[in-house]
Copies of this chain bind each other. A is one copy, B any other.
Amino acid sequence: MTKKADRDQIRRQNRSIILQTLRRNGPLARIDLGQITRLSPATVTAITSDLLDQGLIEGIESEEPKAHLSRGRPRSLLQLNPDAACVLGIRLSVNAIDIALANFSGETVRTSSIAFDSSAADHENFPEVLIAAIRKFIAEAGLAEKKIKEIGVAAQGVVELSSGCVVWSPAFSGQNIPIVEPLQAAFNARCLLSNDTNMITEALHWSDPGTYSGTFAVVMLDYGVGMGLYLDNKLFAGASGKAAEFGHANHVPGGALCRCGKRGCMEAYLSDYALVRAASHLPETTDPDDVEAGVAGLAALITKAQQGEEPALEAFAKAGRVLGYGLARLLAIIDPSRIVLTGAAMRAFSFMEKGMEEGLEEALVADLRQNFVIDVMPWEEDFIRRGLIAQAMERLDIGYSGSQKPKRAAPAETERASAGE
């Protein structure tokens, strides 16, 4: 059934659009803000007037008037006030807590990587470890804690949005690690927990919405196998926030042993330990914990493939075929227009490509293998951080817009807007 929409929602969306446009584009004149957002001059004037009052944006004078708009004097521009608020983007991975601080303009102003012991981390001790790491980071940044308005956390593995817990992750020995509740209580900031591949997906959309919109999927082959789904122009997290666990979707009943304990998961063919296990000709039932793999093992295997070593080449070719089957299932069920492949293993994509094409062709009827592209994206660790910050900023904007003051007349602003036009 059609949803009820209300004026308040529109106002919040429009404010959020103005803030995001300034964050994406940098300082803008009101007239340009109106052209980019397609909001009316009256709406732009009313909203920016409120935002100026709230100290979220500030007026500056352009030093170099653009030729086509020049009237012989500097133009009045608007920009975000970088000090209006801060957000933290935190990535939890094996033995490392990576923290980034971004200002209201969306610029990362400080990052830090803090070591912890994944093998000893569980639901009882990890929240304290995390809070202490954040406190130390904030103190070193010389920042007041109350300046932190949003905290975005990404973790590898199975995370549950609804409970704010990491259900299972290679970063922890224990299960069901609470993240959102302890952080919100400690810092009086809103907190959102995400799967790390979801944050890559969000970052792609943020950095290039023209290419990464509509319905697309991101598959990350790295330590583990991750997936992010962007469906009908929105990041999709599933009913309980656990989608999309591509890595634990079954490939073959009774197949290779997975780290999760089940047999035949995609991950048991595609992740670091799976590739090393296959290249070493170890049985598929070899316990993943008994395989020396990880980031270093995967890198060594890629080097061997580059040197033409047959077992390494075979392992990648076989993994490529499994990947083709997995993508075929995704195409059948989701029908994305684009699949982005990324992660450390993508450096070996040339050794997987042929197998992947074969798998796709074998697994899926031609009618369903149309109208999509596969992109291979070189891996940048930065993507997760950028996604976290983009998402936190969007929540922040909507939050500010929700608590706005009633609209009021602002003659001075109206004049300035006219002058800029």
Contacts and interface: CB of A to CB of B under 8 A. Distances in A.
B39 A241 contact: no
Q: Which 8 A-B pairs have the closest CB atoms?
A: A238-B335, A239-B337, A243-B335, A260-B365, A215-B239, A249-B332, A250-B363, A245-B332
Contact of A227 (B20, B39, B328, B333): B333
Contact of A365 (B9, B39, B227, B248): B248
Q: In the complex, which range does the number of interface residues on chain A fall in?
A: 35 or more
A402 interface: no
A365 B239 CA distance: 17
A1 B13 contact: no
A334 interface: yes
Interface string A220-258: 000000010101111011111111111011101110001
A232 to B, nearest CB: 7
Contacts of A334: 238, 243-244, 333
A188 interface: no
Contact of A2 (B13, B229, B258): B13
Interface stretch (A124-132, A177-185, A367-375, A413-421): A367-375
A404 B326 CA distance: 48
Given A2-B16, A215-B239, 4 more contacts: A5-B13, A167-B367, A240-B371, A245-B368
A175 interface: yes
A330 interface: yes
A14 to B, nearest CB: 7
A367 B1 contact: no
User: How many copies are assembled?
Assistant: 2
A335 B248 contact: no
A408 interface: no
Given A243-B335, A325-B250, A362 B262 contact: yes
Residue among A10, A214, A227, A237 with max Cβ neighbours from chain B (10 Å)? A10
Interface string A1-22: 1111111011001101100100
A248 B368 contact: yes
Contacts of A123: none
A261 B2 contact: no
A240 to B, nearest CB: 5
A335 B240 contact: yes
